[in-house]
Structure 1
Amino acid sequence: MKLCVMVQLCALLTLTQEAPGREKCACELSSREKLFPHEKLRIVKANASDCNSNITPQKTVELESLLLGLERRLAQLHKDVQVLEKEDDGELYGVLSLYVIENEMTEIKLLIDKLNSTTQGHQLLTANASQQLQAQKAEMLALQKFDTMRVIEGRRVNIDLSEKLLKCNKDLNTTVAPTEPPQGTCPRSRLLNVTGPRVYTAGEYPGSYSYGAWGRDPRPEQGKESWYWLVMMTSNNRYAHYVRLYSSLSALIIGVSVPGNIQIHSSNPATNTIQGPNNVLYGGALYYNCYNQDAVCRFNLTTKAVTTLQLPKGTRYNSKGNFCHLEECYPYTDLDLATDDSGVWVIYTTNQDYGNLVLSKVEEGEPPKLGQTWRTSVYKQAVTNTFMACGVLYATRYINRGMEEIFYSFNTVTGTERFNIGIFINKMSPNIQALNYSPVDQMLHAYCDSNMVSYKMLFG
């Protein structure tokens, strides 16, 4: 027994002495799967980004505006030719009429040339985009074979199921719509027409301040029911630091301001400076875009207190979300304040909404709060101005130097959008910097290149 144990110990000792030292161990991993082509995926992403940057809503708006402008010009030319045929006296009148028609034809030719070049550019862009999309599709189909765990396919199935579930819930909750759905939040609901202008005045400072806004307080303080207010951009078409008051319309027209200016600050720019022309007065307080902020300021004309309402993160400001037409954009019109029978509204756009108009109700208080918000499908830079009437948002666009069109509406009660309003405004100046609706007298007040113009609004 002892001998056996001794033999085993000797054997163990021998093995221990003969064991080699520690060596590095390497394993070779062999995979049957092909390497994922990351470079191809990067190229696909880059091409998609380029395509998105090349094809923008502005291009469609540009073509539509040119076609609309050509349609209006041709109609006017036809009228002028008819007048010439009827009233030509063969002498001075005929020469002048022919001269007018010649100028119109020259403008039409320039418009057609611009339309042709724009159309050719769009055709080339469409052809290139079509080719790129086909190539992108082929690349993505080739990349799908690397989805061995079927993650993409699973996502598609989930999306399909979610859409079916939403449709099912919508069908279950569907209610029968009334025969004539409500158009807004007041008896004067459907806008039928805008006539005028009824008032046209250069005021106290003819031609001095191109940008500004004016109007009436929809909920005036007692004794101030006939008052009018005026805010002029007194610094670089961008800033203002006071609101000017007039005791009546006649006082505004002849330029007699009583009680005069009510200052927010002694100079521009400062923390509470007014930035941009789209301002309104409601309940004895001025609402405007705060200087250098994505926020609404409320200035109480009696207490001189300023309170601030912060807008959602991503709101465009400092001239990054302006009203525009083909020829130009109106600087620092990112925020448009509006009033109607129900109170104050703010119209703006955000990065999350890709430049489309966003409408929010401003709830009164100290400070004011942001109420319900609606999102639209109309691109803000395709719009020249907006206003509210009876809970309906209206948007305008530039037709030519003498005509503006109310082309769009969004009903906050029904949630419906219309792009075919087709109500035209006769302009006294080429540009409208601000529009304010007054429910007190159903007038639309426009500030046009330093002139104050008002129109009568006709409702159903």
Structure 2
Amino acid sequence: MQSDPALLASFLLLLPLVLPGQPQLVRNVLNSMDENGTFQCVVHLPNNSIFLQQLDQLQSTLQELISKYEQELSRAKEYVHVIEDQDSQTLELSHMLESRNLGVTVSQYDNPSFNLLRLELEGAQELAAQLKANGGVSGATDLLHQLQNQVTNASLTLKLLVDSARQSFHALREEVDILEGQLSECEREKEQEQSSRHPGLPLAPGSCAHGGLQKVSRPLVVKLNWRGLSSKAGAWGRDSAPSPASSLYWVAPLRADGRYFDYYRLHKSYGDLVLLKHYEQWKMGYGDGSGNTVYKNFMYFNYYGTRDMAKVDLSSNTLVLRRPLPGATYNNRFSYAFAPWTDIDFTGDEKGLWVLYATEESKGNLVVSLLNDSTLEVEQTWYTSQYKPALSGAFMVCGVLYALRSLSTRQEEIFYAYDTTTGQEHHLSILLDKMLETLHGINYCPWDHRLYVYNDGFLINYDLTFLTLKQKVPSSPMKRSSGALAPSKPIKLNKP
């Protein structure tokens, strides 16, 4: 550009005003004029990377402080809301207590006899005070003083009686409330017991002479599993054959990760199980999940990482058979809700050995197959309308599938039944209490008509009550949603 002395002077005059007191950004200024009279100015800026890093660090620190301030402000607002809610609840509770106490005082403690006596004593106290103020009666000063003390003592005694009556009433009221609650609970239990009582002899072991499941007892906690609280998932029970040769009990807790099945224990009796004595502990090949069961002294489980069914001889801890389950999904594809790695679930009943699973063809709905317990071949298969991951578990009784769903952390509901004999399904509502949140490894034993459940590390069982044949619930078909894969007739599969 053409030289402009005035512009150059202005530029040179501005430099000292900008630079003093600031980091030296201009290291050197060189100027020259070429042959055409063009003035050239070269400014060399330093490479001050340290200053730029400090600036970036300052900006980062500022942003972090702003973020922390916003978080603390948000917490403070939440605390304010919590305190306001607590103040409101406290005020409401105070009003309720005041109104309740006021009502009790007026209706219970304002007894006319107490009031009349209190007024008479107050009059006597006033009269004694007047006589004492007037100097009393000649020769009766001591007597007047004694009477005044007696009136005062009588007033105090009356006050103590009133206070004692109030306390006694409160204590009595609380005792009555407790007794009324206990009486109501006893009446409810008695009604349930009477409604579930069957005429005739008790149900024989392994018998299906009943009209279906009616009731589940309260849980009986046997003990914590032998591996401790870290093994929250697992399974346990008795031999699920209708006529077991022995009273063998088995316990199979999983590792702490809730997937691997590697150890199990066998107890010769219920007493040995409770006392942790006379047991055999075995290690075997890895299993997947808590879908184990024992049938005719063989343990059945899902072999790790595959769709294979495995069969172990408990008398020798020998893997005698391993066979794939056709079409079954695995590796946690369609497991029960809150119980991962339960893709393949074995269960036994009066009719035989069953396996519960899901397939891609069924779109995740529960599939029921009857197995040949010797060869593990699938003999028959039924498709239900229930999405397996929405269920918390299932079991078989006399060829009828019963499915559970979680209602809360302390209660389950047996809400669905599928009869493989008729191919019909229906809804029901049987409540099942639980000690802890998650159920694993639900196994039914036809010999004693009990459910054996592994509940977050604890061994629990339930007694089952059945309807009589006269009370049998009709198996009317349910309404199915469009697209539900649930044929009403069993599918007969050809054996290979």
Q: TM-score band, normalised by the shorter chain?
A: 0.5 to 0.7
Contact 2:418 2:424 (C-alpha < 8 Å) held by counterparts: yes
Which residue is equivalent to 2:347? 338
Q: Distance between the aligned counterparts of 1:185 and 1:442, measured in 2?
A: 9
Which residue is equivalent to 2:165? none
Where do residues 215-254 of structure 1 align in structure 2 (5 Å cutoff)?
215-219=237-241, 225-234=246-255, 236-254=257-275
Which residue is equivalent to 1:311? 325
Q: Distance between the aligned counterparts of 1:439 and 1:227, measured in 2?
A: 14
Which residue is equivalent to 1:201? 223
Q: Give the drift of 1:260.
A: 1.4
Contact 1:199 1:455 (C-alpha < 8 Å) held by counterparts: no
Answering whether residue 464 of structure 2 is matched by residue 457 of structure 1, we say yes
Where do residues 400-411 of structure 1 align in structure 2 (5 Å cutoff)?
400-411=408-419
Letter in 2 for 1:408: Y
Where do residues 421-436 of structure 1 align in structure 2 (5 Å cutoff)?
421-436=428-443
Q: Give the drift of 1:423.
A: 0.3
Which residue is equivalent to 2:333? 320
Q: Distance between the aligned counterparts of 2:274 and 2:228, measured in 1?
A: 11
Letter in 2 for 1:207: L
Contact 1:185 1:391 (C-alpha < 8 Å) held by counterparts: no
Q: Give the drift of 1:392.
A: 0.4
Which residue is equivalent to 1:255? 276
Answering whether residue 313 of structure 2 is matched by residue 278 of structure 1, we say no
Q: Give the drift of 1:205.
A: 3.7
Give 3-state SS (helix, strand or coil) of 1:377's partner.
strand
Which residue is equivalent to 2:12? none
Q: Distance between the aligned counterparts of 2:272 and 2:435, measured in 1?
A: 21
State the aligned residue count.
270
Q: Distance between the aligned counterparts of 1:221 and 1:208, measured in 2?
A: 34
Letter in 2 for 1:311: L
| Distance change in 2, residues 1:400/1:90 (3 Å) | farther
Letter in 2 for 1:336: D
Q: Give the drift of 1:305.
A: 2.9
Q: Distance between the aligned counterparts of 2:372 and 2:421, measured in 1?
A: 17
Q: Distance between the aligned counterparts of 2:434 and 2:279, measured in 1?
A: 30
1:27-72 Cα offsets, whole Å, 9 max, x none, are xxxxxxxxxxxxxxxxxxxxxxxxxxxxxxxxxxxxxxxxxxxxxx
| Distance change in 2, residues 1:448/1:416 (3 Å) | same
Q: Distance between the aligned counterparts of 1:229 and 1:250, measured in 2?
A: 13
| Distance change in 2, residues 1:189/1:199 (3 Å) | farther
| Distance change in 2, residues 1:403/1:300 (3 Å) | same
Contact 2:416 2:426 (C-alpha < 8 Å) held by counterparts: yes
Which residue is equivalent to 1:387? 395
Answering whether residue 214 of structure 2 is matched by residue 192 of structure 1, we say yes
| Distance change in 2, residues 1:434/1:218 (3 Å) | closer
Which residue is equivalent to 2:445? 438
1:94-149 Cα offsets, whole Å, 9 max, x none, are 9xx9xxxxxxxxxxxxxxxxxxxxxxxxxxxxxxxxxxxxxxxxxxxxxxxxxxxx
Contact 1:396 1:404 (C-alpha < 8 Å) held by counterparts: yes
Q: Distance between the aligned counterparts of 1:338 and 1:186, measured in 2?
A: 17
Give 3-state SS (helix, strand or coil) of 2:241's partner.
coil
Contact 2:242 2:350 (C-alpha < 8 Å) held by counterparts: no
Contact 2:241 2:445 (C-alpha < 8 Å) held by counterparts: no
Letter in 2 for 1:323: Y
Letter in 2 for 1:306: V
Which residue is equivalent to 2:367? 358
Give TM-score, length-normalised by structure 1: 0.55
Give 3-state SS (helix, strand or coil) of 1:250's partner.
helix
Contact 1:296 1:308 (C-alpha < 8 Å) held by counterparts: yes
Give TM-score, length-normalised by structure 2: 0.51
| Distance change in 2, residues 1:185/1:252 (3 Å) | closer
Contact 2:242 2:446 (C-alpha < 8 Å) held by counterparts: no
Q: Distance between the aligned counterparts of 2:243 and 2:450, measured in 1?
A: 19
Q: Distance between the aligned counterparts of 1:443 and 1:221, measured in 2?
A: 14
Q: Give the drift of 1:185.
A: 8.7
Contact 1:218 1:440 (C-alpha < 8 Å) held by counterparts: yes
| Distance change in 2, residues 1:218/1:189 (3 Å) | farther
Q: Distance between the aligned counterparts of 2:418 and 2:426, measured in 1?
A: 7
Which residue is equivalent to 1:415? 423
Contact 1:221 1:284 (C-alpha < 8 Å) held by counterparts: no
1:358-402 Cα offsets, whole Å, 9 max, x none, are 00011122x321110000111111100001111001100000011
- Find the structure with the greater CA-based Rg: 2
| Distance change in 2, residues 1:220/1:340 (3 Å) | closer
Contact 2:227 2:253 (C-alpha < 8 Å) held by counterparts: no
RMSD of aligned alpha carbons: 2.7
Q: Give the drift of 1:189.
A: 4.2
Give 3-state SS (helix, strand or coil) of 1:422's partner.
strand
Stretches (4+) displaced over 6 A: 88-91
Which residue is equivalent to 1:290? 303
